[in-house]
A = this chain, B = another copy of it.
Amino acid sequence: MNPELKARIRCEDLWEKVRSAREASSYVEKGMTLGVSGFTQSGYTKAVAAALAKRAEAGEDLQLTVYSGASLGDEFDGVLTRAGALKCRMPYQTNKDLRQAINEGKVKYVDIPLGVMPGWVRNGYLNHIDIALVEAAAITEEGNIIPTTSVGATDTYVKCADKVIIEINTSVPASLEGIHDIYTPEPATNTQPIPIVKAGDRIGTTYIPCDPKKIVAIVESTKLDGGVKDVPIDDDYRKMSQMLIEFLETQVREGKMANPLPPIQAGIGGVSNAVLQGLKESSFEHLNVYSEVMQNSIISLIEAGKVDSASATSITMPGSMLQDFYSNFEKYKDKIVLRPMEISNSPEVIRRLGVIAINTVIEADIYGNMNSSYVGGNRLMNGVGGSTDFAGNAGLSIFITKSTAKDGKVSSIVPMVSHVDHSIKTAHVLITEQGIADMRGLDVNERAELIIENCAHPDFRAPLKDYLRKARVLSDYPAFPFSTEANDIFRAKYTQG
C-alpha cells in the first residue's frame, strides 16, 4: 500500500479494506440509491464513478439514484450520464450532458432546496441511502471521516447509509483537517438551537462521525477536482458590483445596516467575482462570509485582510488555481469553516445573522418575481440550489441579472417570469447593469415602474411600458396590473425560450 495512503488511514483495522475502484464499485447494485459527497464540483469521488461508468458501458443496467450535496464534476455526473447509469439525480446539477438528459426526460430530476435535503433524507421522506460514497482527506483513529473541500450532505448520507465507500484523495493536503465543523441536528422533536451567532463560530467536530463497521471499501484516488469555469469580470459585472457596493454604503449611512456589514452570501460566477473584487477595493473592513460556496475571490479577499471569517459548505475554484491555493493554505486556514449544507443554508442562522444574500437569476419580472431555474419556463438550467434558503430568510435579498441575454436580442426583464422560484415577497433588491431597484416597501405598481425605468435595457423599456399600460386596461385591477393577454404579446416578441 502507498505509504501516504497508509498514513491517512489512521484506524489500522481499516487497512484491510483497501480495494481497487473496480472492486469497491461491486458493492453498488442495480437500483441502489447512493448518497455522495461533493458540492459545486468540489470534493466529489472520481475513481468509483469511473468504475461504475465502465460497468454501465459494458451493458449493465444500473438505474442508480444519486443524491449529492450539489453539482458534481464531469468525472461523476458527466461520465455516469453518458454511460446511461443514472435513473434519478437530486438535488442540484450543472453538468451539460446531465442537464440534457434531464430535459429529454431520460434522467429524473427533483429540485430540492439544498438546506432542506439532508433533513428529508434523515426523516425518510426520500429513498433510503444504500451506500454513501465519500471523498476524504483522511480517516481518524476511530474510523471517522475527514472530508476534503466540501461537506454538503455527507454527514447525513454517512449516518443513514448501510455501507460506506471512501475514496482517500492523497493529492489533497492532509492539512485540510481542522477546517470542517460538523454539526448534524437531532430529529424534530428534540432539535436544539444551532448555536452559531457569528459567521465563523465552531460548534461541531472536525470529522464526520462514522461507524467503522459500515466502511466496506477504501479506494485511493489522486485526481484533483476539475473545478469550476473561471468567468472573467466584464464591464457589466463591474458596473453591477459598483452599484451594489454604493447601495450598501448608503444603507450603512442611513442606519439601515450595521458596519461591519452582516455576513455576505454570494454564488459562483462573474457577478460574484466582480462583487467580491469590488469589496476588496471598497472602504468596508472586517467582512464576513456566510455562504454555501467559497470561491477563489473570497480567498483573495482573505489574503487582502478584508475578511475576518468565511463559512461555507464548499471551497471551489477553477482547477488551475487549486495547487496555488493548497500551497498557501496555512495562510487562510484559521479563517475558513466548512459546514454541512444544512447549516450553511440554515434558515435559522441566515435570519439570525441578517445575511446579505446575492443571487443571480435567469430572468426577473417587473413585479419582482425571479426565475432561477427554467429557461422559458420548461428548460432546466441548473436548479434552484440554495437560493431559496438564502433569499427566503436573508436580512436583505438581492438579485442580479444582466438586463438582456442572447447578445442583447432578448430582455431578461419581462412582464411575468415564465417560472417563479422567488416571489415578490422574497426579492428585495434587483440589480442589472442598467441600474438598481430597491423594492422594499413598494407596491407592485411602484415596483413595475421602478424596475422598467432603472433595470430594463433602454431597447426594451418602451415595450415593457406598453405592456404595463395594456395590463392596466385589460386587468381592470390597477393594484396588480397583470394581464396574460398582454404578457403573451410581449413574450412572443422579446423573451428567451
Partner-contacting stretch, out of A144-152, A176-184, A214-222, A375-383? A375-383
Cβ contacts under 8 Å, A352 to chain B = 185, 191-193, 348
* Any B CB within 8 A of the CB of A105: yes
* Any B CB within 8 A of the CB of A480: yes
In the complex, are the beta carbons of B110 and A441 less than 8 A apart? yes
Pick the contact of A480: B189, B378, B384, B483 (CB < 8 A).
B378
* Any B CB within 8 A of the CB of A395: yes
Task: Give the residues from 446 to 496 in chain A that come closer than 8 angstroms, CB to CB, to chain B.
Answer: 446, 471, 475, 477-484, 488, 491
* Any B CB within 8 A of the CB of A103: yes
In the complex, are the beta carbons of A188 and B481 less than 8 A apart? no
Smallest beta-carbon distance A77→chain B, Å: 16
Fill in one digit per residue for A111-146: 1 if any B CB lies within 8 Å of its CB, else 0. 111001001100111110000000000000000000
Smallest beta-carbon distance A190→chain B, Å: 8
Pick the contact of A442: B104, B110, B388 (CB < 8 A).
B110
A102 to B443, CA, bound (A): 10
In the complex, are the beta carbons of B388 and A478 less than 8 A apart? no
In the complex, are the beta carbons of A110 and B443 less than 8 A apart? yes
Smallest beta-carbon distance A166→chain B, Å: 27
Cβ contacts under 8 Å, A442 to chain B = 110
* Any B CB within 8 A of the CB of A258: yes
Partner-contacting stretch, out of A5-13, A157-165, A306-314, A420-428? A420-428
Pick the contact of A388: B120, B197, B392, B441 (CB < 8 A).
B392
* Any B CB within 8 A of the CB of A213: no
* Any B CB within 8 A of the CB of A44: no
In the complex, are the beta carbons of A120 and B440 less than 8 A apart? yes
In the complex, are the beta carbons of B125 and A256 less than 8 A apart? yes
* Any B CB within 8 A of the CB of A369: yes
In the complex, are the beta carbons of B123 and A256 less than 8 A apart? yes
A189 to B191, CA, bound (A): 24
Pick the contact of A188: B354, B421, B441, B480 (CB < 8 A).
B354
Fill in one digit per residue for A406-435: 1 if any B CB lies within 8 Å of its CB, else 0. 000000000000111111111000000000
Cβ contacts under 8 Å, A484 to chain B = 377, 418, 488, 491
Known: A352-B191, A377-B484, A440-B120. A479 touches B103 (CB 8 A): yes
* Any B CB within 8 A of the CB of A353: yes
Pick the contact of A102: B393, B423, B479 (CB < 8 A).
B479
* Any B CB within 8 A of the CB of A237: no
Cβ contacts under 8 Å, A235 to chain B = none
Smallest beta-carbon distance A442→chain B, Å: 7
Cβ contacts under 8 Å, A479 to chain B = 102-105, 109, 378, 380
A46 to B262, CA, bound (A): 40
In the complex, are the beta carbons of A112 and B348 less than 8 A apart? no
Cβ contacts under 8 Å, A258 to chain B = 187-189
Smallest beta-carbon distance A451→chain B, Å: 15
Pick the contact of A445: B105, B260, B440 (CB < 8 A).
B105
* Any B CB within 8 A of the CB of A333: no
In the complex, are the beta carbons of A193 and B195 less than 8 A apart? yes
Which of A111, A127, A256, A378 neighbours the largest number of chain B CB atoms within 10 Å of its CB?
A378
A110 to B479, CA, bound (A): 10
* Any B CB within 8 A of the CB of A255: yes
* Any B CB within 8 A of the CB of A374: yes
Q: Which residue of chain B is the closest to A416 with respect to CB atoms?
A: B377
Cβ contacts under 8 Å, A82 to chain B = none
Q: Which residue of chain B is the closest to A442 with respect to CB atoms?
A: B110
A195 to B197, CA, bound (A): 13
Cβ contacts under 8 Å, A227 to chain B = none
Known: A347-B348, A377-B482, A477-B378. A425 touches B262 (CB 8 A): no
Q: Which 10 residue pairs spanning A and B have beta carbons closest together?
A: A188-B354, A105-B478, A193-B193, A420-B420, A348-B348, A347-B347, A378-B475, A378-B480, A378-B477, A378-B482
